[in-house]
A = this chain, B = another copy of it.
């Protein structure tokens, strides 16, 4: 094609349409949840939970309460529609009946009523970060600057939606946090209180992972699957437990990899950096990788 003519462009459009992964829906309508809308939703939820980091730091008591109340209503309604928009995705080609908008609104109302409990939990995560990192000057530094706390906040919000069986949206939320922090937590994972991730880039926590209380992870830790079961026709089987179980008060240092649905790390254990672990260890274990290193001193 060497000229900018309508026919050539029209032909390109026609060809593009052939490869659309989703056909255009019928007259009953369909509105996809977008990443942009999900980013906005997370921002609003963060603003509700940690207003100090946002525009309200100056407000007098009453104004702040009003502003928060305004935002809470906006979030409730926004979330209801994002849930509604997300729903068709889980109904692709299936007979499952999709939730209707009024059900989505009920879910949203339930979710916002859970926000105080979620914030209470995040306060414990915040304390865990403060107690676990000597570089932290005060809690406000952690709220504003620690990617671990941000990723955990988004996870806890998304996991609550996951428990409400909201499709797609929780996954998109944690992926947005993954993009911002390098910490990839699947919303289906179950994680206990007082959780701390330091630095965090490269952390992966799979869908069926279970994590106890007061656990600490460093950057590059994978809590992953060892292999994926497939059915007789070679199709991957979805939904089975395939990620490890981490006990209370476990610490996992940077670059460690713990794999497998049957792998249990007993409470109080310490998993050293770069360890590759695919079997269970009892409580209070200390697991250390012993890489042989070759050292040649020399002059230039």
Contact = CB atoms under 8 A, between A and B. Distances in A.
A231 to B, nearest CB: 11
Interface in A2-46: 2-10, 12-13, 15-22, 24-35
A263 B59 CA distance: 48
Q: Which of A32, A60, A299 gathers the greatest number of chain B CB atoms within 10 Å?
A: A60
Contacts of A291: 274-276, 289-292
Given A57-B30, A57-B31, A101 B66 contact: yes
A135 B189 CA distance: 11
Contact of A53 (B32, B235, B276): B32
Interface string A35-79: 100000000000011111111111111111111111011101100
Contact of A281 (B143, B259, B297, B300): B297
Contacts of A186: 135
A3 B1 contact: no
How many subunits of this chain does the assembly comprise?
6
B52 A32 contact: yes
Given A24-B61, A68-B13, A171-B145, A55 B34 contact: yes
Q: Which of A22, A106, A115 gathers the greatest number of chain B CB atoms within 10 Å?
A: A22
Interface string A135-149: 111111101111100
A67 B179 contact: no
Given A35-B144, A140-B32, A277 B257 contact: no
Interface in A151-206: 167-168, 171-172, 175, 178-182, 184, 186, 188, 199, 201-202, 204, 206
Given A29-B60, A30-B62, 5 more contacts: A3-B4, A34-B144, A58-B59, A70-B77, A287-B293
Minimum-distance CB pairs A-B, first 9: A29-B62, A15-B116, A58-B63, A29-B63, A32-B57, A4-B4, A6-B102, A145-B175, A58-B59
5 contacts: A2-B109, A135-B188, A224-B254, A274-B274, A290-B293
